[in-house]
A and B are shown apart, each in its own frame.
Chain A
């Protein structure tokens, strides 16, 4: 008796699935079910398939500039623009984090601030931009601030900033990536980008990471 009950329940599920396309009235809905079947194998796609893959830096520069232009039209103010760039970078960062951590095959996850920052400074930068970041510093004024600098950030290389928006820093995109990675590893913080030119490197960008209080408290306890 139980088998017949399960058989009927199975039958009702099947009929529900079959009736779904007609409820919506879309003629293309059946293809969406086919598409689902075809595209569920995304989970079987090997993550290392595109590991060493490269595209030209121009392609990225064009894409980034379009992204900037699109965002510029929809915001008012530099702060807003930087926030939107940060958001766009955030989406990149969460996904990049998953990939990088999986590829590193390092069984221990970072729990200390310094270890975390070192991870960003070396592994993340190397994977995303092809080289390690140029410096990692701790701020002398505030306990909770750290700085990662890049002498020649790829994202800003092809962007020329007009004088009236000279405060803008396209490194906000990189800051978003870093913020997502920090958040993802349980180090909530506020991350911003600042241009700090020095001799020979006019585009030098510093990513300022301001850790939340809870991180500092945790760090104290771990000492």
Chain B
């Protein structure tokens, strides 16, 4: 099953996606983070803003994802994890983070990114390390936003980050609950 997702992801990346220079992308993201740091001067606030921006992106990204990949509903959270890492990340960022540490009840998993196009050539200042800036926090927002649009309320957060001197970059995703599909008020 994972193999089928991987081939799907590779296929979409090769054929259906228009590509641009990753370095422009990296530099643009860096510029955004620098601007946020300048505006807020408080790294916890910057984390929150990045997450919020990611949430906004995620709510729209999911439509793009579904349109391009044409996949159906996932059977369980494990499948969601595989879909996100093999197809989702591949389609947009050309990386496939590994899915690890799936909890026993299948409601949590970790994504380990061995390469992060957002954080190439980035070095954090000391103050950012002390104050716990998660540089790529926008990814957590994207995950939260996009999964919420498919009826899953999740909590995504960074556990470790190579920019902070850890060995690897790991995002933990926890399923909080499945959301009921709500009929908009006024319709029957």
Contacts and interface: CB of A to CB of B under 8 A. Distances in A.
A79 to B, nearest CB: 18
A42 B30 CA distance: 15
A57 B39 contact: no
Contacts of B27: 91-92, 95-96
Contacts of A69: 56
B56 A128 contact: no
A35 B74 CA distance: 39
Interface in A1-50: 24, 26, 28-29, 31-32, 34-39, 42, 45, 47, 49-50
A154 interface: yes
B117 A55 contact: yes
B121 A45 contact: yes
Nearest to A67: B32
Report which residue of B17, B23, B117 has the largest number of chain A beta carbons within 10 angstroms of its beta carbon: B23
A101 interface: no
A82 to B, nearest CB: 15
Contacts of A95: 27, 30
Interface magnitude class on chain B: 35 or more
Which secondary structure characterizes the binding site on chain B? helix
Question: SS class of chain A's interface: helix, strand, loop or mixed?
Answer: helix
B121 A55 contact: no
A89 to B, nearest CB: 8
A67 B30 CA distance: 11
A67 B57 CA distance: 11
A60 B20 contact: yes
A211 B51 CA distance: 40
Contact of A35 (B35, B61, B164): B164
Interface in B128-145: 129-130, 132, 138
Interface stretch (B75-83, B87-95, B147-155): B87-95
20 contacts: A31-B165, A32-B129, A36-B165, A37-B165, A38-B166, A49-B120, A53-B23, A53-B94, A54-B20, A54-B94, A55-B93, A57-B17, A58-B92, A59-B93, A60-B20, A63-B32, A63-B138, A96-B23, A129-B21, A154-B20
Interface of B: 13, 17-32, 34-36, 39, 49, 53, 56-57, 60-61, 64, 91-94, 117, 120-124, 126, 129-130, 132, 138, 162-166
Given A54-B94, A56-B13, A56-B18, 11 more contacts: A28-B132, A35-B164, A36-B129, A39-B124, A57-B17, A63-B29, A70-B36, A70-B53, A91-B31, A129-B21, A154-B20
Closest 4 CB pairs of A and B: A35-B165, A53-B22, A38-B165, A54-B19
